[in-house]
Amino acid sequence: MMSGKYTSIDAQQLQGSVPAVPDSRPATVNFADSNLQTFPPSGAQGKITAASGPPRDADDSFSKPVSGSDEPQQGGWFQTFTIAAYKPYFDVDTSDVLERIIDSLFPFRGSFNEKTATNPDLYGPFWICTTLIFVAASIGTFVTYIAHKLKSKEWDYDINLVTWSAGLFYGYVTIVPLCLYVILKYFSAPAGLVQLFCLYGYSLFVFIPALCMSVVPLDIFRWVVAGVAGFMSATFVALNLRAHIKSAV
């Protein structure tokens, strides 16, 4: 009896000594507005912006640093030996190259230099010369093979055709524009060296289909095709140089 009484008393004392826990509500945390700024994506994507494009005159081609480049810049002609100096001249896409090739096939327009004045490229001339080298070597080998077979003679492949083709076409695209650039500078006619490389490089494209047509075993036809291709190439170069020099005077 006594133990039950004390037990009920102790239970009442414990209930009175423990404070009641009030209903807890979820705490709200307020964050201050962030001071970070969001920047929209740059509009120039894919191609180098015009501000970092190649200069028109070749005197400034390798002396001005290319903006936006992570590589260390060096002034003067030391820039010529860096990869960053040549990046703007390979900043073309397929549509640009095709448009310039089409212009080279219509030499009487004379607007090639105007279209490429702000963005001359070396990509097209390099691949045109390389393609022309292998086409000339392969077509020449095929023609000599057919000629020996018709005469029932023994035929041996001449690897020197590739060497001679490379020396001829690369030398033409490099040495002739360089000499012309020196002459124009001597007479104070403004002309960019890279622009001359671009002009002479694209002028050789007409010889690729001409060489493909030379497989026809007729000497007169081959001479006619070669003459027409040479005339178109020379006219393309002459008219564009004349228009360029007249506009600069």
What is the DSSP track for 62-102?
TTSPPTT--SPP--GGGGGGSGGGTGGGG---HHHHHHHHH
- Count CB atoms within 10 A of the CB of residue 214: 22
- Is there a contact between 199 and 237 (Cβ–Cβ < 8 Å)? yes
The token pair that represents 112 in the structure block: 């090639």
pLDDT for res 218: 85
- Is there a contact between 107 and 239 (Cβ–Cβ < 8 Å)? yes
Burial of 237 (0-12, 13-18, 19+ CB in 10 A): buried
| Phi/psi of residue 142, nearest 5 degrees | -65, -40
In 34-53, which positions are buried (b, 16+ CB within 10 angstroms) versus exposed (e)? eeeeeeeeeeeeeebeeebb
- Is there a contact between 114 and 243 (Cβ–Cβ < 8 Å)? yes
SS3 130: helix
Per-residue pLDDT 10s for the chain (249 aa) are 444 444 444 544 544 454 555 555 555 555 455 454 444 444 444 454 444 444 444 444 444 444 444 444 455 566 667 777 778 888 889 999 999 999 999 989 888 888 888 889 999 999 999 999 999 888 888 888 787 776 767 777 777 778 888 888 999 999 999 999 998 888 877 778 899 999 999 999 999 999 999 888 888 999 999 999 999 999 999 999 886 677 555
Burial of 123 (0-12, 13-18, 19+ CB in 10 A): middle
- Is there a contact between 84 and 74 (Cβ–Cβ < 8 Å)? no
- Is there a contact between 229 and 206 (Cβ–Cβ < 8 Å)? yes
Max Cα distance, the chain (Å): 139
The token pair that represents 84 in the structure block: 């960053």
pLDDT for res 85: 78
- Angle, nearest 10°, between helix axes 94-104 and 193-203? 70
SS3 215: coil
Query: In angstroms, how far is CA 161 from the centroid of its own chain?
Result: 29
Q: How far apart (Å, rounded) are the C-alpha atoms in residues 118 and 50? A: 8
Q: Which amino acid is at 193?
A: L
The token pair that represents 225 in the structure block: 């095709």
Q: How far apart (Å, rounded) are the C-alpha atoms in residues 178 and 231? A: 22
